[in-house]
Amino acid sequence: MLADTDVPPVVEMRGITIRFPGVLALDHVDFFLRPGEVHSLMGENGAGKSTLIKALTGVYQIDSGTIAVDGQARRFETTADAQRAGISTVYQEVNLCSNLSVGENVMLGHEPRGRFGIDWNGVHREAERHLTSLGLELDTRSMLSSHSIAIQQLVAIARAMVLDCSVLILDEPTSSLDRGEVEQLFSVIRDLRDKGVAILFVSHFLEQVYEISDRITVLRNGQLVGEHLIDDLPRDALVTEMIGRELGDLAALSKNADREIDRTGTPVLRASGVSRRGVLQASDIDVYDGEVVGIAGLLGSGRTELVRMLYGADRADAGTIEVDGREARMHAPRHAIGHKIAFSSENRREEGVVADLTVAENMILGLQAQRGWLKPVPKAERDAIVAEYMDALGVRPADPTLPVGNLSGGNQQKVLLARWLATAPELLILDEPTRGIDVGAKADIQRKVAELSEQGLSVIFISSELEEVLRIAQRVVVMRDRGQIGTLDSSDVDIDALIDYIANSEEGSVTR
């Protein structure tokens, strides 16, 4: 069912502007949502998707613009206001209370009440009715925490139904679901759409967007780029609108992938059968001197889980890890560091920088941790290291005494790179080092990785941008559904072949 543009929109947002200190998060954005359609909101990190959603759900206050629901102008001060207007949201991290029962989570705040307060039988009866209408059979008296994330997400949708919503917002609901669970979610979404609910869908997975959406709105840097019917917008056009430049803009960089690697000796690191129940299926990876091995796969494919186990940040249940041919025990990050392995997390703010410490302190933190607290890095050495990397990586502003939290994402990433390079590692694991940073910083980091690997450093490089992986890495480990599905030579594949490999080595899947 394809929604007709003539149907009057249930949500009309016009000229929405939201300003954060020093930043224009949304700049006169118009957005329309019609009943009976699935409408995807697309954009890179920082495009303003979340901000727009939060404006619509009353989490943020708009600075200017109008919001109308069912033709009536509204002003939402709290989430409850938005809910009363029929707008419900299901977030990526399930925002329910895991300490309460399924039934209570569905009905909380709307419990049927008898003469003596809440009528518990009524609560569970009602909850069950709503869950059944979504095709779910659950014990409503069981604790929410005893169910998988996927089920919890469906419970959240059932809750939205209780509120009798005419608008359902799904903010990255699929990022932690497996294929079967996504199917289940999609069948629920289609069902609701057919009942006339307007659905706003946000996902990073293009395949899913194309499978479920009727219409797409694209945002970039807080501005509206365009609204399209799904059939009018081919994928490459969508990607172009999202990132605002042709793919391969950075291709002018030397193609590191073509460099020959000598794989006759012992690999720097070889992992075989590394796995952990419910997190990662048995996966293999090996890296040789001076080689860059990319890991390609969607968010949630197990790529982060794999490298965290290689680094000892999480423990594996099974499998062996060999460093320079000798089996190594990786139970804590410092074991890996002892083997000259460094790891930069995808989660820059929470697992990377120490925000209140200065740039200089952040740069020497790894080295200092290695030496122990009794042997502080001497001032002269410290100044030399800091000066070297400030310059080599082009950290801006070039003031090492600033708290690192004041720097932009790209510069924080450079500081983290410096932290690890200062420890002179033999293997550097970079998880999404270029995510959410500007093009200039991205090119700097790619160039540095290529340069270091030429000098003999081994690198494991994870990126959501397949094109970037193919350009930098000589080999690519492909992962899907929490496990490795193969290893390819970069020179044998192009980006379409890689996408095809990731998406299509199994029949009847959600991905196209």
Partner 1 sequence: MTAVETAQPERRTLTGALGTFTSRHAAVLPTIAAVAILIVLLVGAQMYFGNFLTARNMSALLLDNAYLMVLAVGMTFVIVTAGIDLSVGSVMAFTGIFGASLLASGVPLVIALPAMLVSGAAIGLLIGVLVQYFNVQPFIASLAGLFLGRGLAFVVSLSSIRVEDPALLWLQSTRFRLGDWYITPTGIIAIVAVVIGALVMHFTRFGRTVYAVGGSAQSARLMGLNVARTTVMVYVISGLCGGLAGLVLTAYSGAGYPRNGIGTELDVIAVVVIGGTLLTGGRGYVLGSMIGVFVYGTIKTIISFMGAEQSWTHIIVGGLLLLFIVVQRAIVARSERGS
Partner 2 sequence: MKALTKHRLFWPATALITLLVVNTVANPNFAKVTVQDGQLYGNPINILRESAPLMLVALGMTIVIATRGIDLSVGAVMAVSGAVALTIIDRADDSNRVTVVAIAIVVAVLVALVLGVWNGFLVSVLGIQPIIATLVLMLAGRGAALLITDGFITTVNSDPLSYIASGYLLILPFAFFVWVAAVVIVGLVERRTALGMLTEAVGINPEASRLAGVRSRGIVWSAYVLSGTLAGIAGVIYASNIKAADANAAGYLIELYAILAVVLGGTSLMGGKFSIAGTVIGVLTVQALDSAILFLGVPPAQSPVFFAAVVILVVLLQSPRVHRWGRSLGSSVRRTPQEAPPEVDDDRDADRAENVQKEAVR
DSSP-derived pairing of the beta strands 23-33 and 11-20: antiparallel
Stretch that binds partner 1, among 141-149, 221-229, 411-419, 426-434 (CB under 8 A): 141-149
Among 23, 36, 402, 372, which residue's Cα sits nearest to residue 221?
A: 23
Least CB distance to partner 1 at residue 280 (A): 15
Angle value at C-alpha 32, between 52 and 210, nearest 5 degrees: 85
Helices 379-393/359-371 angle, 10° precision: 120
Give the whole-angstrom CA distance, residue 35 versus residue 4.
9
Q: Is 108 in the site for partner 1 (CB under 8 A)?
A: yes
Q: Which residues would be at the binding site for partner 2 (CB under 8 A)?
A: 20-23, 25, 45-46, 48, 50-51, 54, 221-222, 311, 313, 332-334, 337, 343, 345, 349-357, 361, 365-366, 368-377, 406, 408-409, 419, 436
Q: Is 308 in the site for partner 1 (CB under 8 A)?
A: no
Q: Is 104 in the site for partner 1 (CB under 8 A)?
A: yes
User: What are the distances in angstroms from CA 431 to CA 200, 232, 461, 464, 465?
Assistant: 30, 35, 6, 10, 12
89's contact among partner 2, partner 1, none, with CB below 5 to 8 A by partner kind, is partner 1
Q: Is 251 in the site for partner 1 (CB under 8 A)?
A: no
- Residues in the interface with partner 1 (CB under 8 A) total 45
222's contact among partner 2, partner 1, none, with CB below 5 to 8 A by partner kind, is partner 2
Instruction: Please report, to the nearest 10 degrees, the dihedral formed by the alpha carbons of residues 377, 379, 382, 387 taken in order.
Output: 180
Return the number of the residue (98 or 347) whose C-beta is nearest partner 1. Answer: 98
Among 191, 198, 240, which residue's Cα sits nearest to residue 215?
A: 198
Q: Is 279 in the site for partner 1 (CB under 8 A)?
A: no
Contacts of 171 (CB under 8 A, 6+ apart): 50, 53, 89, 90, 91, 92, 202
DSSP-derived pairing of the beta strands 458-462 and 427-431: parallel
Return the number of the residue (83 or 275) whose C-beta is nearest partner 1. Answer: 83
Applying the rule CB under 8 A, the residues between 179 and 238 that interact with partner 1 are 184, 187-188, 190-191
Least CB distance to partner 2 at residue 493 (A): 30
Helices 149-162/179-194 angle, 10° precision: 10
**Residues 52-91, mask of contacts with partner 1 (x by CB under 8 A):** -----x-x------------------xxx--x-----x-x
100's contact among partner 2, partner 1, none, with CB below 5 to 8 A by partner kind, is partner 1
Return the number of the residue (116 or 373) whose C-beta is nearest partner 1. Answer: 116
Return the number of the residue (302 or 352) whose C-beta is nearest partner 2. Answer: 352
- List beta partners, residue 429: 343, 460
Return the number of the residue (343 or 389) whose C-beta is nearest partner 2. Answer: 343
Contacts of 416 (CB under 8 A, 6+ apart): 344, 348, 352, 353, 362, 433
